[in-house]
Structure 1
């Protein structure tokens, strides 16, 4: 099969979240199975500054954004054996961040990503690369299926191309004022309830859901949740209408990138058969973060964006309790000031068992996974979550809320006859979270039991292999609808 991934971020070129990890890892698995896989993404300043090897291409495309012609230049890099095509336009993409600054989203995001989507389709024709499947991700790429369904419905080049659209987080929908419809060069006929219109605004994500052959989410649990009024973010009705074409596939992780046996960023390598190295990593992390060196005290790690979705209202409410408890807490992440300040205040108040590093550090993150005993993900909602999958790979026992991908991957000791690998709580309250933490701390005191939990998590297969097979089945289903048997 010829498969094109279209994404606004791809690891290791540019990343803000789990979308980039998926767009960087799933194509490698599909390529290894013999498919012709390629990737298209914007050429951000972050890519250039990151030192990635990017070659200038000879192709370019001029597309109309509203009444203005804009030009996109094709650059090329590689992800292993996978060609990565980057679309360059300095006006739109030569900026410090991908989507916005601390002050908010870039006000012209609708123009930036409508330009990107139009360039993708135009450059495919210039390259004469006719994909069997275009796999789009999140609202930034949602205009690709919309344009194929409407503006290019009679274009013979794309007649047999199937479109898969993956929702990584339904909360981000690409909402814009109605006047931006013409700014993006879209027909006013699209501004209807059964298309892009959403309570008087334009909703690009909705357009992608409606126009794609098949829609996926990143876990089975999240797939069920978003069809409910409570978790559907206003789109539950649209998703329910597409329920026969809606599938949940749990994300995987790259087992080559996340492997404590070979990870060069951690202090000492280890495996399920020999866990002694993890103790060295724990002490190394404690020293690096300025904590007391002790192998006996349970160390809780977090690598996360500091936002409401990730449960930081609960964490901040519990900070005084955590500061007084016989544990250590290490947090790495960037986010909202209202969540950053309590950690700074805890340090000022003299909390010696809490360490916080603002921002994202590619070297520190694996050291937290390797050095922590417990990994905390108290998310309000979690489409999939990669943190708990990586944590288990590194023998760090996860605590998560029973939602989305956390519920699909973590098994609690109270979950009947299933073999536990972590701890879950149900109600989104500080009390429920503290109860789960307390149960984990008690279990930690039984070293035999704890090592069983660690090894059980490390034995879980969260590689992309099985998930990739499920995507291939959906690709074939989409192609069958297009009358193709690729």
Structure 2
């Protein structure tokens, strides 16, 4: 099949979140499976600033935005055999930052990404590539299925293109004043009603309502979004679309996250030789100031320090955690109140607990490699990558049963032969400590623990597996059109 992945960011060219890695890895994995997958994104200023060499194309289009003709130029390059297209408009995209300047979002983001949606569809007419499926990511692409089913409805050029819209989360909805519809060439009372959210219109809602198929990042998160607790104002819409709403778990880059090749850790290791795991634990203890205790279980946590990630549970359980005789290391940045509470934990017993207010990628890798147990008490986790990385690096996860955590971690007490971690049901201190206590007790049986570690390290959460599931969904998207 021919698939065009449309995203506001793609690694290594433009990145603010895991979305950039996901789209990049998906395209490369699809290509390896024999499909003609390509990528398209805006041509941001930092792409030139960082020295990426892009070929300037001769293809261009014009889009009327706010009554002004905005020109879009097509540039391109190759990423490990994947064609990558960039839409250049210096007025809109030649700025610091992708969505804002560090002081907040750009005031004209509706115009910027409304232009991007129009330009993607117009440039397809000029390219020697007519995709079977447009795979759309982020609110920034939400107007593409809207345009296909309104302004471009009945156009034979687009008649056989299916649309799949991937929901990465509801933290950003692309909410703008309703007057923007007219400015973007979409002045329509019915459309304004469809896209209405609060006092404005939502680009995200456009993608969720008008795409042929939609999906999110795990089956459990898909089910959770049907409830008001998780789905909020979008829950009724997602329930209505239940038959065309799917869950596909993201993979990880198994080349990048490989403890046998990782140059950031003290010593390489794999499931067949865990001696390097011991060396990494000792090196992490030495680096962070923890006591050099090889037999004391070391519990790691790498995450944004937020209530959503369950760090308030850690902060509330500091005394109880220290009583357990384990070691704890936490790394991340986040909410000031939580940082203060966690700093108190570190200052109280620095040889037993260390906290680093840092997003240092190398330190994160060393925590994965050196930890015996990885704690992930998230209240909300659409997919989760940290628990998958922890598995790969032999750090047995202790997780709250939600979203992608539920879809990746099997409680060893529930299914002893398939189990790969410890799961707690309620987002509470008592439930978290109960699961942690089970993990600490299991750690004492070294022979069984090492079997568990090897089982964790040999599980397949690669992007190839995820891409195969996307191929199935692309076929369904192509065959089951909404119009």
Question: Normalization by structure 1: what TM-score?
Answer: 0.91
Deviation for aligned residue 1:45? 4.1
RMSD: 2.6
How far has the Cα of 1:147 moved from its partner?
1.4
Partners of 2:389 and 2:88 in 1: CA distance: 33
Aligned to 1:17: 17
CA deviation profile, 1:135-181 (whole Å, cap 9, x unmatched): 01121211111111112223322111111111111343222232333
User: What SS class does the counterpart of residue 427 from structure 2 fall into?
Assistant: coil
CA deviations on 1:364-399 (whole Å, 9 max, x unpaired) are 332222222222221111111111111101111111
* Counterparts of 1:453 and 1:73, CA distance in 2: 53
Could you say which residue in structure 2 is the equivalent of 1:159?
159
Looking at structure 2, the residues matched to 392 and 156 of structure 1 have their Cα atoms a distance apart, in angstroms, of 48
| SS of residue paired to 1:126 | coil
Corresponding residue for residue 460 of structure 2: 461
For the Cα contact (< 8 Å) 2:140–2:174, is it kept in 1?
A: yes
Aligned residues: 483
* Match in the other structure for 2:169: 169
Q: Any gaps of 5 or more consecutive residues in structure 1?
A: none
Partners in 1 of 2:357 and 2:456 — Cα distance? 28
**SS in structure 2 opposite 1:112?**
helix
Residue matched to 1:315: 314
The 2-side partners of 1:387 and 1:7 are apart by 23
Structure 2 Cα separation of the partners of residues 356 and 55 of structure 1: 46
Equivalent residue, structure 2, for 1:130: 130
| Equivalent position of 2:85 in the other structure | 85
- In the other structure, the counterpart of 2:250 is 251
What per-residue deviation string (whole Å, max 9, x for no partner) do you get for residues 247-296 of structure 1? 11122222222221222332221111111111222222333334333322
Mark the CA change 1:465 to 1:184 in structure 2 (over 3 Å): closer, same or farther.
same
Tell me, yes or no, if the aligned pair for 1:171 and 1:233 is still in contact at 8 Å.
no
Q: Which ranges in structure 2 are unaligned for 5 or more consecutive residues?
A: none
| Contact kept in structure 1, 2:77 and 2:83, CA below 8 Å | yes
- In structure 2, distance between residues paired with 1:451 and 1:49: 47
| Aligned residue number for residue 71 of structure 1 | 71
Give the Å deviation of 1:350. Answer: 6.0
| Pair 1:199–1:22, CA change in 2 (3 A) | same
Residue in 2 that maps onto 1:400: 399
Aligned twin of 1:189: 189
Secondary structure, aligned partner of 2:9 = coil
User: Residue 320 of structure 1: CA displacement?
Assistant: 4.8
Q: Return 366-375 or 313-322, whichever deviates more.
A: 313-322
CA contact (8 A) 2:374 2:397 kept: yes
1:410 corresponds in structure 2 to: 409
CA deviation after TM superposition for structure 1 residue 446, in Å: 2.1
Alignment correspondent of 1:143: 143
2:471 aligned residue: 472
The whole-number CA distance in structure 1 between the counterparts of 2:89 and 2:171 is 28
Distance in structure 2 (CA, Å) of the matches to 1:279 and 1:76: 46
Q: Does 1:44 align with 2:44?
A: yes
CA distance in 2, matches of 1:39, 1:283: 43
Specify the alignment match of 1:115 in structure 2.
115
Asked if 2 retains the 8 angstrom alpha-carbon contact of 1:76 and 1:83, the reply is yes
Between the aligned partners of 2:327 and 2:87, the Cα distance in structure 1 is 45
> Secondary structure of 2:232's match?
coil
Paired residues for 1:283-298 under 5 Å: 283-298=282-297
In structure 2, C-alpha distance between the alignment counterparts of 1:53 and 1:284, rounded to whole Å? 40
Deviates more, 1:100-109 or 1:29-38: 100-109
